[in-house]
Amino acid sequence: MPTNRALITGVTGQDGSYLAELLLARGYEVHGVIRRSSSFNTDRIDHLYRDPHEPGVRFFLHYADLTDAAALSRLLHRIQPTEVYNLGAQSHVRVSFDQPVFTAEINAVGTLKLLEAIRDVQDRVGRPVRFYQASSSEIFGGTPQEVPQRETTPFRPRSPYGAAKLYAHWMTVNYREAYGLHASCGILFNHESERRGETFVTRKITRAATRIAVGLQHKLFLGNLEARRDWGFAGDYVQAMWLMLQQERPDDYVVATGESHSVREFCDRAFSRLGLKYHDHVEHDPRYLRPTEVEHLMGDATRARTVLGWRPSVTFDELVDRMVDADLALARRELTLQQAGHK
């Protein structure tokens, strides 16, 4: 019987899938929250899933939702996890301007519902539950901007997403101070991978550039090319999440590479790897602009480095290259299927 039992909300997402892999490799029993969907939404974790009737299975999935306090509470009482990672969210900043109330209900109040359920189960069972909150560099927002941003930088979110994440951040800090919960916030800067959702700018670029390279499309429409982000590799960032919960004392940590690049630079690198020039294919579409933009995010992860011993292992160029290479394989497969009349 594993002594470490983790519950992950958002297990079907980019980070959830890498975190589940990490925890399983470390011998944990892992429980993931999934949402009911009319189509399959478990692509990123299918390789981890085994029939629960088989012996030795340590990965389990449960239906619940961050808006459903009763289901969260029931799940916590049933599983009695030693660690809870709250990664579930409406995570798209642009979409949060279209659905601000929905975003707040999941990202802000959903986190509060989970914190309340943890407080309750901890009191009843008498065993501590360690909690990780997926905070975001979007809580810094900006204007006037302090660059680089660190744990002491003032928060000034510029989107409904950022504001909802800031509420969840402060509630996590409050539960730590008010109830002694071992609760930590990872203020993570942008992190990407070949598993990144296809409407975030990095993946949108690598998907389009590779489809253009094999002749499946010709143009890519983007918004603000001058925004700068601190882009790291998601596989590195889930290590930092785990390390936070292994500390004797809970705290909040910036997790970042310390380097920033513009969206234009990302396009340049991605298209160049394919022997293309981005300005021959990229066009502007104002629909992808945000009512309020965060112009420059770059993190100072000194605390994570000194206390957790955490360091990023993938450079910007390596990140772009691995995403392009993975998407090129997908684009080639798509082309083959199309040529065989399957699409």
Return residues touching ligand NAP (CB under 6 A).
9-10, 12-16, 33, 35, 37, 41, 65-67, 87-91, 106, 134, 136, 188, 190-191, 197
**What is the phi/psi pair of residue 101, to 5°?**
-70, -45
3-state helix, strand, coil in the chain (%, to 5): 45, 15, 40
Q: Which does 35 bind (CB under 5 to 8 A by kind): ligand F7E, ligand NAP, none?
A: ligand NAP
**What is the phi/psi pair of residue 21, to 5°?**
-60, -45
The one among 64, 93, 241, 274 contacting ligand F7E by CB under 6 A: 93
Asked whether position 288 contacts ligand F7E by CB under 6 A, the answer is: yes
The one among 138, 252, 300, 327 contacting ligand F7E by CB under 6 A: 138
Least distance from ligand NAP to the Cβ atom of residue 305, Å: 18
Dihedral over Cα of 198, 201, 202, 206: its sign: positive
Catalytic residues: 136, 138, 161
Q: Which is nearer to ligand F7E, 161 or 175 (CB)?
A: 161
List the one residue out of 132, 157, 110 whose CA is nearest residue 255. Answer: 132
For the residues of 153-216, what is the DSSP string, one character each? Answer: SPP---SHHHHHHHHHHHHHHHHHHHH---EEEEEEPPEE-TTS-TTSHHHHHHHHHHHHHTTS
Q: Which is nearer to ligand F7E, 82 or 136 (CB)?
A: 136
Q: Which helix (H) or strand (E) holds 135?
A: strand 130-136
Asked whether position 204 contacts ligand F7E by CB under 6 A, the answer is: yes
| Exposure on the CB side of residue 295, measured as CA atoms within 13 A | 7
Q: Which does 49 bind (CB under 5 to 8 A by kind): ligand F7E, ligand NAP, none?
A: none
Q: Map the footprint of ligand F7E across residues 207-236, applying CB under 6 A.
A: 222-224, 227, 229
Contacts of 126 (CB under 8 A, 6+ apart): none
Asked whether position 176 contacts ligand F7E by CB under 6 A, the answer is: no
Least distance from ligand NAP to the Cβ atom of residue 37, Å: 6
Binding site for ligand F7E (CB under 6 A): 91, 93-94, 136-138, 189-190, 199-202, 204, 222-224, 227, 229, 263, 288, 290, 293
